[in-house]
Structures are given as C-alpha cells and as structure tokens.
Amino acid sequence: MKKITEYENKKVLVLGLAKSGVSAAKLLHELGALVTVNDFKQFDQNPEAQDLLTLGIRVVTGGHPIELLDEDFSLIVKNPGIPYSNPLVAKAISIQLPVLTEVELAYQIAECPIIGITGTNGKTTTTTMIGLLLNAERKNGTARLAGNIGYPASEVAEKASAADDIVMELSSFQLMGIQTFRPQIAVITNIYEAHLDYHGSREEYVKAKWAIQKNMQENDFLVLNWNQQELQELSKQTKAEIIPFSTKEKVAGAYLVDGKIYFKEEYIMLAAELGVPGSHNIENALAAISVAKLKDTPTEVIRKTLMVFTGVPHRTQYVGEISGRKFYNDSKATNILATEMALSGFDHSSLVLLAGGLDRGNSFDELVPSLKGIKAIILFGETKDKLHKAAVEAGIKTIYLTENVQTAVQEAYDFSEKNDTILLSPACASWDQYPNFELRGEAFIQAMHQLKDIEK
C-alpha cells in the first residue's frame, strides 16, 4: 500500500464498527492517527470493540454521544449503514467536519487501479463476473473483490500490489462519503428507485450513485446502461469516456443483436451460452464484458468464463434438483424490480414462485404483469395478503399462504411435478422473519436439502 502521512497525529473518529469500521480503525491506527471508535453496541457484547482496545485504540460504546464532537476531531469515518440523519452525523456536517466512508481511505492507499461498480440491481453479480474475467488466465497480479460485496475495501487495498486490480462493489451509502475517490473504470448497472428511506428522495439517491464518476478524467472509462434514458442524459455531465452497453440497440460498446453479444462489432458469444438465466443477467454480462475488453481480456477467455459462471449466492442461484424439479435461490430480490428481473428468465408455465417478507407499506400492483402465467405461487411473511391480492389480479390459479420459507419449500415441492422450477424471489426485505437475505436464502437451501434427504 502507499505509505501516506496525512493522518499522522490527526484525531479521527470512526463511527460504527462492523467489518468496514474495524478495518478503517486498524488502518488509521497503523497510519499514525489518534483513533477513537464509537459504536452503538455495549462493550461487553462487542467483541470488535474489545479487540480494538487491546491494540491501544480508544473505544466509546453504548450510544453515539454528540459530546464526542467537542474533542476537536479532524474527520469522521462513518459506517455506511448509519444514516446522515443520525444526530451526531448531522451535527458534524453542520460544523463542516468531513464525514468519509472507508472506501475513500481504500482509494488513498491503493497502489493499483480500482474498478468501481454501482447501480440499483446487479452490482454483486457484475462485480463477481468482472473478478472472474480478469483473473481467468491472468499472468501477473490478481483481481481482488472489495467493498459492498463483503470484503472491506481498506483491508483489500492494504494487501493489494501494483500489479493487481481492485474490483469494488459500491453502494449509494458508501459513495456519499467520498472526496478524492477516482476509479480507472466505473460501472453503473442501472438506476431505479430504491433506499428512499435513507436518501429522502429519488434525486438524492441518483446523486449518490452518480458520485462514482465525479473525480474521473478523460483517460478514465465510465460503463453505462444505455437502455436507460436517464443514464444517457447523465452521461453528458462527465469527463470520463463513455462505454455504453445495451440489449436494445447497437452501441459503441457492448450490445445484444439477434441473440448474439458483441463488443464494438466484435462477436463475443451467444446470450444463450451464459451460465445464468434472465434478461437482467445479459445486461450484467454486457457490463462485465465491457470492463474485460477494456482490460484486454481475450474474447475466448470471456466466453469460456461466462459459460461456466452459474451465479453468486442468493442471486438467481441454481442450488439443485430433486425429482426433476429445479431449485433457484434469489433471496437477494428484496424489491419488486429484482423479482421482475428474475421472473423474466423463466418459463412461467412450469414456475412455482415463493415470495413475501417485510411490509414496507407499498402495494404490489406493478408486479402483476410479471406474475401472469405463473403455475403457482406460495406466499409467506408480512406481505402475503398483499401479494395474494396481486396474484389473484394476475390470474394465478394456485395460491398457497404459508408460514415461512421452510414451509413454502415443502408446499412448493408437494404441488409441483417433474420439469417444474421452484424459485425463491421474495420481492421484499427479510427482516420480518430473518436477520438478512442471506439467512433467508440459507433457510431455502436447507429446506431443499432436507427434501433431498427424504427422497433418498
């Protein structure tokens, strides 16, 4: 990593722990900063804080006292999950104290190029695809995944050498805390309405996403979804070179024509050869191919790699087959749009959908067109009655209401027959019944394996 001196003897407050907070605190400590960590969780239930204390880092736990700001800090490094409406954060901003996220630190110390990926949907799949493509048959260095995908960016940047690439998934929350962050290549997979409870308005959400390019220059590349008029308009406001991708028209980047994928008129592969189903995954692949070609990855390597990529956990992930029924886990579909995209990849006449979860107050009227023709739907969680109404409106004949994901799997199996597909794509967050979408997905996979054991 770059040995920077700008934090030496500076008082820095790390607000919120989890993985990224721990990494930021350790890095700043190593860089000579006078670090104070503040976390809401009580000290006796906070192993991360206990660990940092043994390193000589000051910790304040059990709340976020505003009085901390009386201590003349030079800046705050904030956990992305803590909203800007938090009283301590709001006060810091009002007194013009810089509030960064840990990805800014990662950029400051990184010796190698950064490829940043953001968007409403498809970030993790696209990030994973890019990592696989850049590592396939690579001679020097490694493409290292980082950021919102689960590996703290500053920790990855600390280990990366000049020969590497950092492939960084970035949420809107993380991008709100950047100052000098400048990726060599940035990707925006798409922009739809999301996280309005955090951002307050769609305008602020889009502004946060668009920040990924704010420091980019003419020799950097910005890969944009040209299917979206909004991104076409925004593209006029950047210094970076635009690399568009589209499934609707031929563009000066990656595109789909008659089932074939091209990059700048060079044939790459058939869309049908992709190892993951769905039109949304064609878009993800086009974005990933754009990055791979910009990094000089050979076409045959791209084709071979994407043919065997079967998805990442909880994102239209194929998890197995029992008695001729295929099971797909799309627990990451925590909103209507993600479920619509998943549904576009399957034959509805043989599809049994499992859906439901946290009630955020929205209706499911806009999901109705995507539900039409589905063989059966099994509903659970707080939203099952609302989804029942949408299913009836869509004309689905077989509708079951059940308790949770585990019971839904049993119902789906009992009703389905050979050559059917059972898809978990909830269209809702998991927090009414499960701590996160990963555990909901694991419950689905576990229930499937229990069925498999019974079948044996």
Confidence of residue 231 (pLDDT cuts 50, 70, 90): very high
pLDDT at 35: 98
The mean pLDDT value of the chain amounts to 95
Residue with tokens 């609302």: 386
Residue 202, pLDDT > 90, answer no
Which strand (E) or helix (H) includes residue 151? none
Tell me: the pLDDT tens digits for 429-442? 999 999 999 999 99
pLDDT at 264 over 80: yes
Give pLDDT tens digits for 362-391: 999 999 999 999 999 999 999 999 999 999
For the segment 401-419, the average pLDDT, to the nearest whole number, is 97
Rounded mean pLDDT of 397-423? 97
- Average pLDDT over every residue of 306-310: 93
pLDDT of 456 reads 57
15 pLDDT more than 80: yes
Q: Can you tell me the distance from the alpha carbon of 415 to that of 374, in angstroms, rounded to the nearest whole number?
A: 13
What is the SS3 assignment for 13-71? EEECCHHHHHHHHHHHHHCCCEEEEEECCCHHHCHHHHHHHHCCCEEEECCCCHHHHHH
> Among 97, 405, 58, which Cα is nearest to 88's?
97
Q: For residue range 205-227, what is the model confidence (pLDDT) as tens digits? A: 999 999 999 999 999 999 999 99
Q: What is the pLDDT of residues 135-177, one digit of tens each?
A: 999 999 999 999 999 899 999 999 999 999 999 999 999 999 9
User: What pLDDT shows up at residue 452?
Assistant: 81
Cβ distance 249 to 290 under 8 Å?
Answer: no
pLDDT bin (cut points 50, 70, 90) of residue 192 is confident
Share of the chain above pLDDT 70, in %: 98
Q: Give residue-wise pLDDT tens across range 112-140.
A: 999 999 999 899 999 999 999 999 999 99
Contact 156, 146 (CB under 8 A): yes
User: In this structure, which amino acid lies at residue 263?
Assistant: F
d(CA 411, CA 281): 29
Per-residue pLDDT of 21-60, as tens digits, reads 999 999 999 999 999 999 999 999 999 999 999 999 999 9
When pLDDT is averaged across residues 248-269 and rounded to a whole number, the result is 98
- By DSSP bridging, strand 241-246 and strand 99-100 are unpaired
Distance of CA 282 to CAs 116, 303, 335, Å? 19, 13, 20
243-279 residues labelled b (16+ CB within 10 A) or e (exposed)? bbbbbeeebebbbbeeeebbbeeeebbebeebebbbe
Distance CA 377, CA 397 (A): 9
Q: With contact defined as beta carbons under 8 Å apart, do 405 and 443 qualify?
A: yes
Q: Return the closest-CA partner of residue 72 out of 127, 137, 22, 11.
A: 11
pTM, two decimals, is 0.83
If you count DSSP H runs as helices and E runs as strands, how many of each does the chain have, helices first? 17, 20
- Length of the chain (residues): 456
Residue 196's pLDDT is 67
Q: What is the mean pLDDT of residues 98-125?
A: 96
